[in-house]
Amino acid sequence: MARIMRAFFAVAVLVFAACAQDPRPAQPLLGSGSGHAVDGSLFSLHCQYSHTNSDDPIIFPGQPGASHAHDFLGNDSTDAFSTYESLQGATTKCQVTLDHAAYWIPALRRADGTPLLPFGSLTYYRNGPGGSVAFPADMRLVARASSATGWACGNKEPFTPSIPDCTGKKDIRAHITFPSCWDGTPVNHVDDTAHVVMEDAVTRACPAGFTTRLPKLALNVRYRGNPHTCVGCTLSSGAPSTLHADFFNAWDQATLEKLVAEINAGVTCNAISDGDPCLS
């Protein structure tokens, strides 16, 4: 009986901590390997569509028009010449105005070539085993095709390389998950994509040499008109199976670190916007 009561008390404490509202005590930013962080907690926010152009400031910096077309979410200024400083000085379509980050995906086209624009993305930052560290300022990531990237009817897996027929189901969504295992190399932009890799899809372990865990960033992209079919649709990068995404961190860094500290403490902050208790 004593053992059962202790277990009940432990669960009650966790529930109380997850549900508590302001004021919440400040939490330390925990790094990879901390035994106190809570796996699975997250924060999320909506970032709406901003604009389309054929730029990519990560792959083709300073080369306007060198890329296939991208639909940009969040930051309103993203182009081939974007820098951390320029993004931080621009407005954003994210519901948290201190998120100046740029997010972008290849443009989706109907069979007749007309654009199917995104409404925006519900953007998730999920904690991982052992806790996470905040993305460093100016970090730039590319999410390439993986088992965690693809198309679905609504939010549920499986994610498929081709766009499914969602007739009678929820609307078509694009889902992209970024790598979250970092080798700790300071941001230098010599090769932004070489220093972060995916966790193991089954064990969730980070491979040797990449043991600093970042939040698992994922985009859940909805399209205008809530389409249920997209026969013959292609991406500007090619077939639907070429789905990918880019992330250029220009968050207000103190705000990002506070939110990561929240999820390390086991707090989940869903669909936050300016004025949310998780930001205070």
DSSP 253-275: HHHHHHHHHHHHTT--EEEE-TT
Burial class (CB in 10 A: 0-12, 13-18, 19+), 228: middle
Segments of the chain with pLDDT less than 50: 1-36
- 175: its two tokens: 């889902």
Residue 89 inside a domain? The answer is yes
Residue 224 inside a domain? The answer is yes
- 234: its two tokens: 């292609």
Residue 21 inside a domain? The answer is no
CA–CA gap between residue 21 and residue 275 (Å, rounded): 13
Q: Residue-wise over 268-277: b if at least 16 C-beta within 10 A, else e?
A: bbeebeeebe
Residue 261 inside a domain? The answer is yes
Helices H / strands E in the chain, number of each: 3, 15
Residue 9 inside a domain? The answer is no
Q: What is the pTM of this model?
A: 0.86
The residue range of the domain holding 231 is 27-279
Question: Kindly report the CA angle at 140 between 214 and 91, in degrees rounded to 5?
Answer: 105
* Count of the separate structural domains present in the chain: 1
Diameter of the chain by CA atoms? 69
Residue 231 inside a domain? The answer is yes
> Which pLDDT score is estimated for 210?
97
> Which pLDDT score is estimated for 37?
55
Residue 86 inside a domain? The answer is yes
